[in-house]
Amino acid sequence: MNKRTLRGASRRSILQQFGAAAIGVSFAGGLSACGRGGGAPTVNFYNWDTYIGPTTLADFQAATGVPVNMSLFATNDELFARLRAGNPGFDVIVPSNEFVTRMSQAQMIQELDRSKIPNFANLLPEFQDAAFDPGRRYSMPYTWLVLGIAYRKDKMPANFVPNSWRYLFDSPQFTQRIALLSESADLIRLCAKYLGHSVNNIPDEMLTQIEQMLIRQKPHIKAFHEDDGQDLLASGEIDIVLEYNGDIAQLMAGPGGEAFDFVVPQEGTLINSDCLCIPTGAPHLEEAHAFINYLLDAEAGKAITEEIQYPTPNRAVADLMGDAYKNNRVIFPPADVMAKSEYGAFEGDERSRLYEEIFTRVNAA
Amino acid sequence: MTTLSQRRARRERPGPLEYTKRWPLRVIVLATLAFLYLPLITLMVFSFNTSRRNVVWQGFTTDWYVKAFNNESLLQAFVNSLTIAFLCTIISVILGALAAVMLWRFRFPGKTAVEGSMALPIVVPEICLGVAMLVFFARVLPWPMGLPWPLNLGAITIAHVSFSFPFVSTVVRARLASFNRELEEAAKDLGASEWRTFWDVLVPHMQPGLIAGALLAFTLSLDDFVITFFTAGPDTITFPVKVYSMLRFSVTPEVNAASTVLILVTVVLTAVGLQMQNRTEADKAKA
Amino acid sequence: MEQTWRQAKAAFAAISIPPIAWLLLFFIVPMAVIWAYSFGENTGPVTIDFTGTFSNYMRAAEPLYLEIFWKSVLVAGLTTILCLLVGFPVALAIAFASPRMKAWLLLLIMLPFWTNLLIRTYALIAVLREQGYVNFTLEWLWSNASGLMTLVGLQPLGEFEPLTLLYNNTAVVIGLVYVHLPFMVLPLYSALDRMDRSLMEASLDLGAGHMRTIMQVVVPLAAPGIASGILITFIPALGAYLTPDLLGGTDSQMIANVIERQFKRANDWPFGAALSFMLMYLTFIAIAVQALVQRRSERRR
């Protein structure tokens, strides 16, 4: 037995040496990729599942000869936590707006080389700059999305549209038929919007007010859902839910989808944008830029948008899309409510922790 | 005549210790199985649903099976998960059995501390161990990227063993409590070496514990998401990671189809295995 | 009786080095870093200073978190008791089945758990929800009963109101029992299997009933298995987060949900570490107390 462990130990050290050699190789590969555009050509893409066209990766490989290796995460928080201790080798990641700011402040993502992304010109002018990433130094927009109220039409009073956050946050009308997204920051920001404030710079006394409002509303809420609100709605467990427009557009496009509808409340809402970024320490810089550029291409973008049915920030893509997409008021909410809507800014980690504690208290109350 | 005697045999009262044949126990077992399998049957039924949501029944199709079989990343994730679970089970059973024997047989300084530390992996919240492993493999022992399969699964396997083997050890140790130590002594008195006594006397007694422990380790590893997520590299997706990342856009019936196939394959393999075992036993009896 | 390690040094080394080394290198070392974090302070989005502060523990000991702690203990305790009540007869049936039957029963109990937890939980939701199979069955029974009553000239029953089985604490307990049952059945089976049956036969021969034999002969013999079953059911149930997330209502959060959110959304690793280690300190104390009690009772003997 003793011998066996010894042998195991030596095998482990051999493995370590082998590992060190492999690191050296991949590091050298990354360097040469930087310098000459050669080396081990592959793109390690870290994305949400089904958030890509069915053939996009294969098409990119056919066009450039570079294979794409896609791994998956489920939330921004997971993505951030996964990369916090260092980049294990990802080349392109897809964080949302707030996390672009957070990760750029933490130097977890690197500046993009605009000269290698000529398809930047395809973007709509309003997406060529962003408050969460001034000058678009770190990120390229991939999609954008808004939170709103999805509901089952035949469970509403006649000719009734729940076009205010009141029905979710501050009213017993749909008691025990409501589900809210269990994202502390989103909930608190939307409550502030309902109370007539911006989603950012919420004063402390308003936070207290919001906490009390949510605790008061709690008996009427059936569940806090994990971004699977569309499933709760479809199964008839609830009638009205806080969800993203893209999820509901997919639900409404499917069979039986005519039973549901989606509205962005008159008070305005939170806008989010999923962006393409390159994490610090990415081993294949050249290929990563080429891949981002490819995703912003008109034809490639069209294939992606047709699959995922999310609003695109890409003018060249939008021009290629049919009217059914362009005129879909779930995917593109009316201009008047969009004008009242805002991006949630990253206001420091202290703020996220405060929001989280408020949510814990609401849950525990 | 034979049929009559057979029938009579069947009608005979069960023996005093044949608990499996007593109706209160049968009712409980059947009710438990119903509780366990009702959701599972639902899952299988939904693998034939035309809707891409696991929610409302809309019509019959076998498309999801075709899609699942053509989905390379899903299959790769599946193979990865099974490989990790298999490796993890073997290592965990060995380490767990050794740990159990150590704690059962010996008195040594610091035993309470070792015992307590052995229980920690059971206690520690998954996310906490996940983050610990993340930091460990990022800073202390960086697992190289781009290793050939299955070496690229090394970090995940190590992490899985760390939380699985204490479960095995707990179960095996409980089993050892019923061991009659005089047997071991008798074997030694008869001149058996330490190793022979261990292998021929102790291991057979531990066997039910080893089986139970192996089943636990396999289950724990196959189902783990959090710790896997934090130890997986860019080139290693496992089945649970794949499934959890589907949550945002609804989990598709493809996953149900893949799970149904796994269930059926397991049942068939077990049936074949038992059949072969029976045959070898019958052969032995003949010889 | 236990041997001291000195009596068989070589055997002790062979048996103890692999598990202890593994535990040390691949568990204690990684956890030590997190333990250090629990005494640290966040100085930036990804940086933590080890300042030796106790502020994280002070915060973890606030009534808000202690209450969540206590509630999680209650939920996990209830789950463990239910698992024991269901699992013991099942384990008994497996242990006393024929070898062939035994293999099948073990497989049947384990098979559901080789299906992904998330999918299994979704399937459970499909069974329990308002338009799920439990409610469909009840509705069918209800309407038949109602029809029967009109047949015999009674008032028909009112309209069927589906039971709300999901999104409350009951659903969480049902879900946890569903998820943790094998953790109870397996150790019980391993303790009951091939148990010395002569004692049971003697008890039965002496006229004790089956219930009495089980309670007074089988249960004491299986006590170590029961203890290990309780340990490995209760503790993972205490750390459950997915089940309360998906099946729970607005007041079903458990301590693991709070811990998970500290490591993810709140990006507060020191506080998450402190909450996690509170759980571990408690376990360590419980095990130390148990060891002390055991040693004392052994000495008395």
**DSSP line for A66-97:** --EEEEE-SSHHHHHHHHHT--SS-SEE--BH
* Contact predicate A117/A293, CB 8 Å: yes
Is residue B9 predicted with pLDDT exceeding 70? no
Instruction: Report pLDDT for C301.
Output: 55
Q: Is the domain of C205 the same as that of C258?
A: yes
A38 pLDDT band (50/70/90 cuts)? very low
Please tell me the distance in Å from B242's CA to the nearest CA on chain C: 11
Asked if the model's pLDDT at residue B142 lies above 50, the reply is yes
- Minimum distance, in Å, between the CA of residue B72 and any CA atom of chain C: 19
Please tell me the predicted confidence (pLDDT) of residue C300: 61
CA B92 – CA B160 distance, rounded (Å): 9
pLDDT on residue C1: 55
Q: Give dist(CA B227, CA C27) in Å, integer.
A: 13
- Find all residues with CB under 8 Å of A109, minimum gap 6, and list them: A93, A95, A100, A103, A138, A139, A277, A278, A279, A280
- In sign, the C-alpha dihedral spanning B144, B145, B148, B149 is positive
Any idea what the CATH number is for the domain that residue B258 is in? 1.10.3720.10
Share of chain B above pLDDT 70, in %: 90
In a domain, B282, yes or no: no
Which residues on chain B are in Cβ contact (under 8 Å) with C90?
Answer: 28-29, 32
Categorize the per-residue pLDDT at B286 as very low, low, confident or very high, splitting at 50, 70 and 90.
low
Residue B62 — pLDDT band, cuts 50, 70, 90? confident
Q: Is the pLDDT of residue B284 over 80?
A: no
| Residues C8-47 pLDDT 10s | 788 888 889 999 999 999 999 999 999 999 999 988 888 8
Show which of residues 27-46 on chain A sit within 8 Å of chain C, judged by CB atoms. Answer: none
For the stretch C76-128, pLDDT in tens is: 999 999 999 999 999 988 988 888 888 888 888 888 888 888 888 888 988 88
pLDDT score, position B207: 87
Question: What's the whole-number mean pLDDT along residues B55-82?
Answer: 85
Q: Which of A8-22, A279-293, B58-72 has the highest average model confidence (pLDDT)?
A: A279-293
B55:A90 CB<8 A:
no
Q: Report residue B30 as tokens.
A: 């059947």
Instruction: From B82, B77, B88, B169, select the one nearest B122 (Cα to Cα).
Output: B169
The answer to whether residue C286 scores a pLDDT higher than 50 is yes
Q: Give yes or no: residues C31 and C171 share one domain.
A: no
**ipTM of this model?**
0.83
pLDDT of residue C265: 86
Provide the chain A residues 224-253 that lie in CB contact (below 8 A) with chain B. 226-228, 230-231, 234-235, 247, 250-251
Residue B23 clears pLDDT 60, i.e. is over it: yes
| Whether residue C110 sits in one domain with residue C8 | no
> What's the per-residue H, E or C state across A138-165?
CCEEEEEEEEEEEEEHHHCCCCCCCCCC
Q: Which domains does chain A have, with CATH numbers?
A: 1-40 (no CATH), 41-139+277-326 (3.40.190.10), 145-272+334-364 (3.40.190.10)
**C135: in domain:** no
Q: What are the residues whose beta carbons fall under 8 Å from the beta carbon of A11, sequence distance 6 or more?
A: none
Span B247-266, pLDDT tens digits: 767 778 888 888 888 888 87
| For range C48-72, the mean pLDDT | 91
Q: Inform me whether the C-beta atom of residue C250 falls under 8 Å from chain A C-beta atoms.
A: yes
Phi, psi (5° rounding) for residue A141?
Answer: -70, 135
Number of domains in chain B: 1
Residue C145 domain flag: no
Q: How confident is the model at residue A219 (pLDDT cuts 50, 70, 90)?
A: very high
Q: Could you list the residue range(s) of the whole structural domain that residue C204 is in?
A: 38-129+165-300
Q: Do B39 and C120 touch (CB under 8 A)?
A: yes
pLDDT at res. A32 = 34
Query: Does A5 contact C261 at a Cβ distance shorter than 8 Å?
Result: no
Report the domain count for chain C: 2
Q: Compare A267 and C46 and report the one with higher pLDDT.
A: A267
Paired with A130 in beta bridges are A133
Residue B150 preceded by cis peptide, ω within 30: yes
pLDDT over 90 (residue C48): no
What per-residue confidence (pLDDT) applies to A25? Answer: 35
- CATH of residue C67's domain is 1.10.3720.10
Closest CB to B171: pick one of C111, C187, C260: C187
C-alpha C194/C-alpha A203 separation (Å) is: 68
% of chain B with per-residue pLDDT over 90: 18
Residue A315 has pLDDT above 50, yes or no: yes
pLDDT tens for each residue of A318-350:
999 989 898 998 999 999 999 999 999 999 889
C68 lies in the same domain as C91: yes
pTM for this structure? 0.85
Contacts of A281 in chain B (CB under 8 A): none
What pLDDT, on a 0 to 100 scale, did the predictor assign at position A365?
85
Provide the shortest C-alpha distance from residue B230 to chain A (in Å).
6
Closest CA to B27 of B15, B39, B17, B35: B35
A274 pLDDT band, cuts 50/70/90, is very high
Helix (H) or strand (E) holding C285: helix C269-300
For the record, the structure tokens of A181 come out as 């997204």
CB contact under 8 A, B234 and A247: no
Q: Choose among C21, C64, C250: nearest Cβ to A361.
A: C64
Residue B152 lies inside a defined structural domain of this protein:
yes
- Give the pLDDT mean for A79-90: 89
Domain boundaries, position B134: 65-262
Q: Assess whether C174 and C240 both reside in one domain.
A: yes
Q: Which pLDDT band, with edges at 50, 70 and 90, does A26 fall under? A: very low
